[in-house]
A and B are shown apart, each in its own frame.
Chain A
Amino acid sequence: MAVYETVIGLEIHVELATNSKIFCACATSFGDEPNVNTCPVCLGLPGVMPVLNKSVVELAIKAGCSLNCEINLINKMDRKNYFYPDLPKAYQISQYDLPICVNGFVDIDKHGERKKIGITRIHIEEDAGKLIHIEDQNDTLIDYNRGGIPLIEIVTEPDIRSAEEAVTFLKDLRGILVYSGISDCKMEQGSMRCDVNISIRELGSKTLRTKVEIKNMNSMKEVYKAIKKEESRQIELYRFGEGYKIIQETRRWDASKGKTVSMRTKEDAHDYRYFPEPDLPKLIISEGQVKDIKQSLPELPKDKRKRMMREYGLTDKEARVLTEEKLVGDFYEAAVKLSGKPKETANWMMTEVLRVLKAESVIPITSKQLAELIIEVEKGTINRTVAKEVFEEMINTDRSVFQIIETRGLQQISAQNILEEVVDKVLTENSKAVADYQVGKTQSFGFLMGQCMKATKGQGNPNKVRIILENKLTQ
């Protein structure tokens, strides 16, 4: 039986993190009342004209530099013409034959080895409005807040060979774009959208077969599922000699049904009648500008990961988790700087901080607070269990570590006389366990230890309690 290979190329639309839209001064914020962020320009009223937002060009160049592209110094914008109610001018201003960036790549990890995914092109364009279909009603409403938000479209070479690779690539790409401040890349909010071009061929073959485009996945998980599904649909057709049924078409991923549905075939594809946008002059970029942007690029996740492993002695897994989001990495490094305890700080990050971040989408404490907490544990003022309590309280109040310890009296009890009293009391009250221990049932030590800690409300210095308890039992 033939062995098949999947060939995947991605088209990723990313909303650029500008404050205003691409051709007017309207705000780009997400989640506002419908149609509040609109003006005659982004509504395409008669006679209005676009003016290109300079920061769009800067961010697009930045994206190109981060993805190892060549930057085209002479740029023009083009019109892509089609009728659709979310497109008020009946054309989208985009770039056709002269995209701003070409010939780049991203290195991804594939089982510990590097694999190069080629970037064919990146171009600038404007987003369309959003259609809102009202359930059970025949009406469709239009929200033009999104219309005119700047986008870049990133097109990859057909270098990806599996759903796993696609997701790894997308994660790496997102990391790079978020790190560089190019986009917030929130798939669920639509600021990162991914279309998949997929075809199947026999392993070893060099020719590309008919590809199918899949749209409408709004998370990485959906991208993964959609590829898996389409892959098996195509393989099955080839396997049963029905490869002719694979036609060049666009299919829509239906997440609720877990399958793809045909949207349109090549025959009814639009003729977009591209031509140069006459309302915008040629855009000339200087080599100096590209150079400046290259120099201003932040450390990219991959480099940061390597540095963290080297500098802080983190494991690959730790470094990976801590660099997945720029925010997390920055928080970690700031905390380490103050605490001087990279390993301990990493532990706190991986357990407590990320848990809270996941639940609340923000880190509700400062890196300084975390560092102070770690220092207090290190100094022995509080023990680890109590520290977790302090952490919880810090999330919900804005009190400092010291205030919490002070007002709640959480200091660790290390005084020999107090601890001895506690241990004596526990031993008298639990004579059975003591007897058990003495006949060799060592597991009752744990029980007695627990009772002692309980008696100190968890504040007893565990090392000291252990020593006292051992001494008393063996006396």
Chain B
Amino acid sequence: MGIESMRVKDVQVGLRRKEFSDVELVKAYLDRMKRHDKNVKAMITICEEEALEQAAQVDKKIADGKSIKWMEGVPTGLKDNICTRGIRTTCASKMLMDFEPPYDAGVVEKLKKEGLVILGKYNMDEFAMGSSNENSAFYPTRNPWNLDYVPGGSSGGSAAGLAAGFATVTYGSDTGGSIRMPASFCGVVGVKPTYGTVSRYGLIAFGSSLDQIGSFGKNVEDAACALKVIQGHDPKDATSREKGYDKDYVSIMKKGVKGLRIGLPEEFFGKGVDPEVRNSVLEGAKQLEKEGAIVSSFSLPIPESGLSAYYIISSAEASSNLGRYDGIRFGYSASHCDDYQERVISSRTEGFGNEVKRRIMLGTYALSSGYYEAYYNKAMMFRRKVRKLFQDAFERYDAILTPTVPVLPFKIGEKLGDPLSMYLADIFTVSVNLAGIPAISMPSGFSKSGLPIGLQLMGNEFSEETLFRLAYALEKELALDKKPIAMEVV
């Protein structure tokens, strides 16, 4: 079996049956990265030494006849906004190009404790701001299905890297769709869990009330395993939640979907949705019906105002979160500055890219006295309304099915000069973050041009198990799981 089609289960079984060693496995991934990443550009930092050392430890345990933990030895990787002690964490920004955190993020602590092997840090849009990965200060990541296309963003490196076979599972962060959108564009499964189920400690903040770390897998089961291993309360994150961690998605998801009620919100299938996308997602709905789910349409008037509210709230929080990058204590510092003010201004002017500056300005404006009521406050009011609308919907439905992105993957450079049309790519994903609810994006099919299409399943707070059940059933029905990753083109 090629390393690129290996699933978590294959790794778990292979290591235990000694079909291969963890070092061999890690070397194979590293080798694949070296051969193919010059085309995909998914990686920012490859942690070769650390990964091999970690794998050797796993091998020693196995050789000594000791039992290894459930996910131990599984090669993984992180979006480069998740802090790793002693390994540079750049946020794909010039600002943090040489930043080596003196601490591990909460999820990294968990991963290390559970024995997963961190292969590297994946490319992203600078500070997670973007929907195409073109905002990386280093280089844009390309879509492994067609290198002329974007992988989506902002966790584009984690999605493209996984699709290209650079790890068994990967991790990203999702503030307004940053896991689901690239999952959709790269033909993998991406999960944005309920806000508070995964520690944000050590996730470099963008929009703190929206940010959530989640997982990518090449199938539903992998994504569920990857999520299970990082979830849980973290005393260092006051917004992390105490409940809902005892669920074993991996066994529950195989229960079938009989009787589950699925809502199709009209507003997510109308104008602006590419017919190929619409048909593919509706095909998914039909399959679920075949499996015994009850599917019906309803109205959920969220998308447009939700998008505005999202961009106001996330930018407002970002404008505050990014204030600390002043060139004084860490990160990029402009040279030849005479005084404090000049240093701060020059460091920020030179250290941040255009999209980041755009969001800082937008957010600063929205919070300014005189505009606060009209923008930030209004956005917060709409956010409460979004929550209410979802709550009402989840009284009638167990899950909501929509396209993840209204359009097919677009070409590199295509939307770069038009931020608004780029923002529109997030229109179906942002409301999930506003409401703090979980959602999964999974492949629903392919366009005529051979590009992946994704569908999105949204559920009520802490209903991940229901979403995994639906996704698992759907995946079997659509039989997309075994589709080869198109690395042959590389």
| A281 interfacial by beta-carbon distance below 8 Å | yes
Chain A, residue nearest B377 (CB) = A275
What separation, in Å, do the CA atoms of A89 and B364 have in the docked complex?
Answer: 15
Contacts of B325-348 to chain A: CB distance below 8 A: 325-326, 328-331, 340, 344
* With contact pairs A89-B323, A90-B320 given, residues A49 and B238 touching in the complex (Cβ less than 8 Å): yes
SS class, residues of chain A in contact with chain B: loop
Contacts of B182-237 to chain A: CB distance below 8 A: 200-205, 207-209, 235-237
Nearest-CB distance from B339 to chain A (Å)? 9
Residues of A within 8 A of B329 (CB): 43-45, 88
* With contact pairs A48-B103, A51-B238 given, residues A275 and B323 touching in the complex (Cβ less than 8 Å): no
Contact in complex: B367, A81 (CB < 8 Å): yes
Contact in complex: B364, A47 (CB < 8 Å): no
Contacts of A249-272 to chain B: CB distance below 8 A: 271
Chain A, residue nearest B343 (CB) = A85
Which listed residue (A43, A47, A88, A271) contacts B201, Cβ 8 A? A47
Residues of A within 8 A of B207 (CB): 278
| A380 interfacial by beta-carbon distance below 8 Å | no
| B388 interfacial by beta-carbon distance below 8 Å | no
Contact in complex: B323, A83 (CB < 8 Å): yes
Contact in complex: A279, B320 (CB < 8 Å): no
Contact in complex: A273, B238 (CB < 8 Å): no
| A201 interfacial by beta-carbon distance below 8 Å | no
Contact in complex: A275, B367 (CB < 8 Å): yes
**Surface stretch bound by A, among B59-67, B94-102, B414-422, B472-480:** B94-102
| B453 interfacial by beta-carbon distance below 8 Å | no
* With contact pairs A91-B320, A273-B320 given, residues A47 and B83 touching in the complex (Cβ less than 8 Å): yes
What separation, in Å, do the CA atoms of A49 and B323 have in the docked complex?
Answer: 15
Residues of B within 8 A of A44 (CB): 324, 329
Residues of B within 8 A of A281 (CB): 238-239
Nearest-CB distance from A53 to chain B (Å)? 11
| A204 interfacial by beta-carbon distance below 8 Å | no
| A52 interfacial by beta-carbon distance below 8 Å | yes
Which listed residue (A47, A52, A81, A88) contacts B320, Cβ 8 A? A81
Residues of B within 8 A of A49 (CB): 200-201, 236-239
What separation, in Å, do the CA atoms of A41 and B161 have in the docked complex?
Answer: 32
Contacts of B348-394 to chain A: CB distance below 8 A: 364, 367-369, 372, 376
Chain B, residue nearest A90 (CB) = B323
Residues of B within 8 A of A81 (CB): 319-320, 323, 367
Residues of B within 8 A of A46 (CB): 83, 89, 91, 96, 99, 101, 204-205, 324-325, 330-331
| A62 interfacial by beta-carbon distance below 8 Å | no
Residues of A within 8 A of B4 (CB): none
| B399 interfacial by beta-carbon distance below 8 Å | no
* With contact pairs A45-B101, A46-B96 given, residues A91 and B323 touching in the complex (Cβ less than 8 Å): yes
| B317 interfacial by beta-carbon distance below 8 Å | yes
| B105 interfacial by beta-carbon distance below 8 Å | yes
Which listed residue (A89, A273, A278) contacts B209, Cβ 8 A? A278
| A362 interfacial by beta-carbon distance below 8 Å | no
- CB contacts between A and B, total, < 8 Å: 101
Residues of A within 8 A of B25 (CB): none
Residues of B within 8 A of A274 (CB): 367
* With contact pairs A47-B105, A49-B238, A52-B238 given, residues A83 and B205 touching in the complex (Cβ less than 8 Å): no
| A298 interfacial by beta-carbon distance below 8 Å | no
Residues of A within 8 A of B368 (CB): 271, 273
Residues of A within 8 A of B83 (CB): 46-47
Residues of A within 8 A of B367 (CB): 81, 273-275
Residues of B within 8 A of A50 (CB): 238
Which listed residue (B96, B202, B208, B369) contacts A279, Cβ 8 A? B208
Contact in complex: A83, B238 (CB < 8 Å): no
Contact in complex: A279, B323 (CB < 8 Å): no
| B316 interfacial by beta-carbon distance below 8 Å | yes
Nearest-CB distance from A361 to chain B (Å)? 36
Contact in complex: B238, A48 (CB < 8 Å): no
What separation, in Å, do the CA atoms of A253 and B116 have in the docked complex?
Answer: 60
Contacts of A42-91 to chain B: CB distance below 8 A: 43-52, 79, 81, 83, 85, 88-91
Which listed residue (B81, B317, B319, B369) contacts A271, Cβ 8 A? B369
| A450 interfacial by beta-carbon distance below 8 Å | no
Residues of B within 8 A of A43 (CB): 329
Nearest-CB distance from A460 to chain B (Å)? 72
Nearest-CB distance from A48 to chain B (Å)? 7
Contact in complex: A279, B239 (CB < 8 Å): yes
* With contact pairs A47-B204, A271-B368 given, residues A88 and B209 touching in the complex (Cβ less than 8 Å): no
| A280 interfacial by beta-carbon distance below 8 Å | yes
What separation, in Å, do the CA atoms of A81 and B372 have in the docked complex?
Answer: 14
Nearest-CB distance from A328 to chain B (Å)? 41
What separation, in Å, do the CA atoms of A403 and B238 have in the docked complex?
Answer: 59
Which listed residue (A45, A83, A271, A280) contacts B330, Cβ 8 A? A45
What separation, in Å, do the CA atoms of A43 and B324 have in the docked complex?
Answer: 10
What separation, in Å, do the CA atoms of A271 and B320 have in the docked complex?
Answer: 13
What separation, in Å, do the CA atoms of A51 and B368 have in the docked complex?
Answer: 27
What separation, in Å, do the CA atoms of A279 and B369 have in the docked complex?
Answer: 22
* 0 or 1 for each of A206-238: is its CB under 8 Å from B? (1 = yes): 000000000000000000000000000000000
Residues of A within 8 A of B325 (CB): 46
Residues of A within 8 A of B205 (CB): 46-47, 279
What separation, in Å, do the CA atoms of A12 and B83 have in the docked complex?
Answer: 39
Residues of A within 8 A of B236 (CB): 49, 51
Nearest-CB distance from B248 to chain A (Å)? 27
* Between-chain CB contacts (< 8 Å), 27 pairs: A40-B101, A40-B103, A44-B324, A45-B103, A45-B330, A46-B96, A46-B99, A46-B205, A46-B325, A46-B330, A46-B331, A47-B81, A47-B203, A47-B205, A48-B201, A49-B201, A51-B235, A79-B320, A85-B340, A88-B329, A90-B320, A271-B369, A273-B368, A273-B369, A275-B320, A275-B376, A281-B239
Which 8 A-B pairs rank lowest in CB-CB distance, beginning with the nearest?
Answer: A90-B323, A278-B209, A273-B367, A278-B208, A46-B204, A47-B202, A47-B204, A47-B83
Known: A43-B329, A45-B103, A91-B320. 7 other contacts (CB 8 A): A46-B89, A47-B101, A47-B202, A81-B367, A90-B326, A271-B368, A273-B372
